[in-house]
Amino acid sequence: MQKNLKTEFCGLKLNSPIVLLSGCVGFGEEYTRIDGFSNADVGAICLKGTTLEPRLGNMPHRVTETPSGMINAIGLQNPGTDMVINDIMPNLDKSETRFIINISGSSVEEYGEITKRFDDTDIDAIEINISCPNVKEGGVAFGNDPDMSYRVVDICRKNTSKAIITKLSPNQTDIAFSAQRCIDAGTDGLAVINTLMGMSIDTNTKKPIIGNNQGGLSGPAIKPIALLKVHQVYQISKHHNVPIIGQGGITTANDAIEFIVAGAATIGIGTALFYNPLVCHKINDGISQYLTDNKLDSIDELVGTLALNNFISSCK
Amino acid sequence: MNRSTIQVVDCQILAHYQFESAQFILTLASDSIAQKTKPGQFVHITVSDALAMRRPISIMSVDAKNGTFDLLYKVVGEGTRQLSERKVGDVLSIIGPIGNGFKLTDKKLPLLIGGGVGMPPMIAIAQQIKDTDYDPFVILGSEVPFPFTPELSKMGNPCPKVSHTMPLLEGWGVACRLASLQGYEGVFKGFVTDLARTYLDALSVEDLVQVEVYACGPHPMLEAVANLAKEYNLPCQVSLEEYMACAVGGCAGCVVKVQTNQGVAMKRVCVDGPVFDVTTVF
Ligand SMILES: Cc1cc2nc3c(=O)[nH]c(=O)nc-3n(C[C@H](O)[C@H](O)[C@H](O)COP(=O)(O)OP(=O)(O)OC[C@H]3O[C@@H](n4cnc5c(N)ncnc54)[C@H](O)[C@@H]3O)c2cc1C
Ligand SMILES: Cc1cc2nc3c(=O)[nH]c(=O)nc-3n(C[C@H](O)[C@H](O)[C@H](O)COP(=O)(O)O)c2cc1C
Ligand code: FES
């Protein structure tokens, strides 16, 4: 791994600024089936959204392609907190990368309880998902209400000394205000953004293609939206030294650099893996080369270096 | 976990033949896929630059010596349409081989039933066991003209009056008969399961216990096969389809409901399947 890619995020030492995103790489081992793929090529891996009790998830179809992206409604299928802790975590190779658990609850108390259980493990950090669009109770309902977001982050904060990352929903009016409330409640980092809600219809049957009727839109289609949200959140988070995992439609090194310039300290890769399971090599190489070409020693020097145009009022 | 079992390879198109009703046979070059594939496995293909999500297609046959493999697909939507426009010499990005594949058991009379574009995995099994002590019988069904020219079979006929077979299988010395409601010449007029019944009813009691059913095809066909297997008390493995994103087990996008000892589970077609014991899924 190139030396200039090393970075730190919420106190975690990372090999690379790439974070593999929750829900796209199962519980950390799935992509190692691919010859040439290594967890050591990424800085951290967010494990699948985990709830207190096991969940079967939604009925099929759960995924479908849409223009420049895809819709998913998995419905947080997972084996439950105890199984993740007892059966899955012991098998993770922690020498390769950092592991972040992604948690979801249907009540504030459930978020608190799951956090408490993971606090007793060797997980590297906890990502609070208050932005899942695909479950009936909880999820995005917490993320779209800044006061509820505050309460969720607050209870998690009280239950762990590990780093907490709060994953924000783009499906809300003022993401920056929400970010502020999560920072007030003590989040160490922010993940921006989760999927946008969307729909796809089969015109033969006049039914939604996705079993859950609606789902979360990801992939290049959401990149410009995600980039603006990262920029908006960074205007708040930079004053508190709260770093951002920028995500939403990143498929190339150039996309990643755009997010870093907008204010992301690390960048998330999800849907791009479905296109090309070996995409991380290209992104690492591209970022490293860009740093070298621009005579920068590390990513930190690039974060939030956006130079806004200062003639944004309309031309007279 | 089985690390590094799936390759990401750029495969050149060596041949691409069109048959009636927008069916295509595609020959691709890859030593590793040709050598590693087990019957019932599939590949995940980038069909064009315009569509980034891949499409899953079963591997029909392999030529391990020359490092090639064949796919049979039908155009049903935009992805398969764009695939059909790719030319000989073009290069496709392929992930594979993927999936658990069929388990060959000690039952020596495999009954292979393939419907429509569910034919390829049956042909893959036939290829694997053609020179062994298994004595398979293949039934292929189609409601559009078959993606090959049916020919009169010279092999012993377990189903009187049904005379035609797939030339590839005939060449391998694997007995096969065809079924369709369309009334094609030499082809059984009816469902694949009706033809299967004729075959099974002609077997002795000792032979019947040697039968294991393997099937792939549209959902209603698999349901009928499930009922047939139950009626004759035969073990049966079926290959299922579901919409996929990653095809390596990462997204849980491709699940089907499966009965397990612990109750209902949602299993991934890509890596827990695509082949399942019929009694767990129907
Ligand atoms: C394990 C497996 C093996 C397969 N083997 C073959 C084969 O050998 N030959 C063949 O012709 N077809 C096969 N299929 C079906 C084939 O994948 C679909 O016909 C194809 O994905 C349709 O894509 P499209 O863009 O043309 O259709 P559209 O309907 O436009 O596709 C829209 C989306 O739905 C998905 N989709 C639609 N139908 C299916 C389906 N039946 N299965 C999975 N995804 C679907 C597509 O991948 C795409 O993401 C197989 C499917 C699976 C899961
Ligand atoms: C199939 C799938 C499953 C997902 N599951 C989760 C999840 O369990 N928890 C979560 O916080 N985000 C989940 N996400 C959202 C991703 O982590 C990510 O935020 C989003 O897809 C945007 O990034 P991308 O465009 O690079 O995929 C999921 C996304 C996809 C595509
Ligand atoms: S397609 Fe992702 S788990 Fe099967």
Tokens describing residue B10: 């750029």
- The shortest C-alpha distance from B274 to chain A (Å) reads 15
Residue bearing tokens 């493990």? A121
B8 to A275: CB separation less than 8 angstroms, yes or no: no
Residue B253 lies in a domain: no
**Per-residue confidence at A10, pLDDT binned at 50, 70, 90?**
very high
Cα–Cα distance measured from residue B33 to residue B76, given in angstroms and rounded to the nearest whole number = 25
| Co-location of B73 and B176 in the same domain | no
Q: Is the pLDDT of residue B36 over 70?
A: yes
B252 to A220: CB separation less than 8 angstroms, yes or no: no
pLDDT tens for each residue of A149-180: 999 999 999 999 999 999 999 988 899 999 99
A75 lines ligand 2 (CB under 6 A): no
Residue A153 lies in a domain: yes
| List of chain A residues whose C-beta atoms are within 8 Å of the C-beta of residue B6 | 33-35
Residue A315 lies in a domain: no
| Co-location of B137 and B91 in the same domain | no
| Co-location of B234 and B118 in the same domain | yes
CA of A70, nearest ligand number: 2
Does any CB of chain B come closer than 8 Å to the CB of residue A275?
A: yes
Residue B53 lies in a domain: yes
CATH of the domain at A32: 3.20.20.70
- The shortest C-alpha distance from A209 to chain B (Å) reads 10
- The shortest C-alpha distance from B93 to chain A (Å) reads 9
- Overall number of domains in chain B: 2
Residue A132 lies in a domain: yes
Residue B74 lies in a domain: yes
- Pairs of residues, one from chain A and one from chain B, whose beta carbons lie less than 8 Å apart: 112
| Co-location of B118 and B84 in the same domain | no
| Co-location of B153 and B189 in the same domain | yes
Q: Which residues line ligand 1 (CB under 6 A)?
A: A 64-65; B 42, 53, 55-58, 72-74, 76-80, 117, 120, 241-244, 269, 274
Residue A88 lies in a domain: yes
**Per-residue confidence at B156, pLDDT binned at 50, 70, 90?**
confident
pLDDT tens for each residue of A228-273: 999 999 999 999 999 999 999 999 999 999 999 999 999 999 999 9
A24 lines ligand 2 (CB under 6 A): yes
Residue A58 lies in a domain: yes
| Co-location of B84 and B125 in the same domain | no
Q: Which amino acid is at A300?
A: D
At residue A83, φ and ψ (nearest 5 deg) are -65, -40
Return the HEC string of chain A.
CCHHHCEEECCEEECCCEEECCCCCCCCCHHHHECCCCHHHCCEEECCCECCCCECCCCCCCEEEECCEEEECCCCCECCHHHHHHHHHHHCCCCCCEEEEEECCCCHHHHHHHHHHHHCCCCCEEEEECCCCCCCCCCHHHHCCHHHHHHHHHHHHHHCCCEEEEECCCCCCCHHHHHHHHHHCCCCEEEECCCEEECCEECCCCEECCCCCCEEEECHHHHHHHHHHHHHHHHHHHHHCCCEEECCCCCCHHHHHHHHHHCCCEEEECHHHHHCCCHHHHHHHHHHHHHHHCCCCCHHHCCCCCCCCCCCCCCC
Residue B2 lies in a domain: no
**Per-residue confidence at A1, pLDDT binned at 50, 70, 90?**
confident
Query: By C-alpha distance, which of A96, A214, A236 is closest to A166?
Result: A236
Q: Is the pLDDT of residue A314 over 70?
A: no
Return the pLDDT at B160: 76
A249 lines ligand 2 (CB under 6 A): yes
pLDDT tens for each residue of A104-114: 999 999 999 99
pLDDT tens for each residue of B226-235: 999 999 999 9
Does any CB of chain B come closer than 8 Å to the CB of residue A72?
A: yes
Average pLDDT, chain A: 95
CATH of the domain at B61: 2.40.30.10
Helix, strand, coil fractions of chain B, as percent rounded to 5 = 25, 35, 45
- Overall number of domains in chain A: 1
- The shortest C-alpha distance from B76 to chain A (Å) reads 13
pLDDT tens for each residue of B114-144: 999 999 999 999 999 999 999 999 999 999 9
| Co-location of B130 and B211 in the same domain | yes
| Co-location of B160 and B126 in the same domain | yes
Domain span at residue A99 reads: 3-301
Domain span at residue B45 reads: 7-98
| Co-location of B69 and B128 in the same domain | no
A68 to B52: CB separation less than 8 angstroms, yes or no: yes
Residue B269 lies in a domain: no
Is B75 in contact with B84 (CB distance < 8 Å)? yes
Q: Which of A62, A167, A195, A227 to mutate to test the pocket of ligand 2 (most atoms within 8 A of CB)?
A: A195
- Tell me what the mean pLDDT of segment B91-112 comes to: 97
Q: Which residues line ligand 3 (CB under 6 A)?
A: B 244-247, 249-254, 268, 270
Looking at residue B6, the DSSP 8-state letter turns out to be B
Does any CB of chain B come closer than 8 Å to the CB of residue A32?
A: yes
What distance in angstroms lies between residue B55's CA and the mean position of ligand 1's atoms? Answer: 6
Of B93, B248, B252, the CB nearest to A34: B248
